[in-house]
């Protein structure tokens, strides 16, 4: 999987976190969340000789009965680079890699290592 392809799909409110930046402090490279549009974070998660392409979507929403407050819903989707990686890997590898990114943007509250 070529990182330049992942970076190329990013646009407004869409950001790529490179493999090189995985080891740095996530907070230092953190982008601001939009309160009007979905923010998408893209990253590649290595496992053995394989990579997973991951997209974290952070969607803002408001509740009519609580005015002037914005809340965020988070969802994750991923795909492995090949069928072999899919067969030998699982969500826990992806979860461990993306947890610091999620925590940086959304705080604690969802544990991606709990796959039950």
Q: Which two tokens stand for residue 66?
A: 């609580």
The more confident residue out of 47 and 25 is: 47
What integer pLDDT is reported at residue 31 of this predicted model? 64
Q: In this structure, what are the phi and psi dihedrals at residue 99, rounded to the nearest 5 degrees?
A: -55, -45
The more confident residue out of 29 and 3 is: 3
pTM: 0.73
CA distances to 1, 40, 65, 71, 107 from 43, rounded to whole Å, are 11, 10, 36, 23, 19
What integer pLDDT is reported at residue 25 of this predicted model? 46
Alpha carbons 103 and 89: distance in angstroms, whole number? 23
Sequence-distant (≥ 6) Cβ neighbours of residue 67 within 8 angstroms:
none
């Amino acid at each position: 999987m070529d990182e330049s392809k992942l970076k190329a799909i990013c646009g407004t409110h869409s950001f790529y976190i490179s493999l090189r930046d995985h080891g740095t402090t996530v907070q230092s490279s953190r982008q601001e969340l939009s309160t009007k549009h979905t923010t998408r974070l893209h990253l590649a998660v290595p496992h053995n000789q394989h990579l997973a392409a991951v997209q974290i979507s952070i969607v803002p929403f408001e509740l009519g009965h609580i005015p002037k407050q914005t809340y965020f819903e988070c969802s994750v989707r991923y795909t492995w680079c090949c069928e072999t990686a899919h067969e030998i890997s699982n969500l826990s590898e992806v979860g461990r890699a993306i947890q610091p990114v999620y925590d940086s943007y959304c705080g604690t509250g969802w544990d991606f290592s709990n796959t039950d």
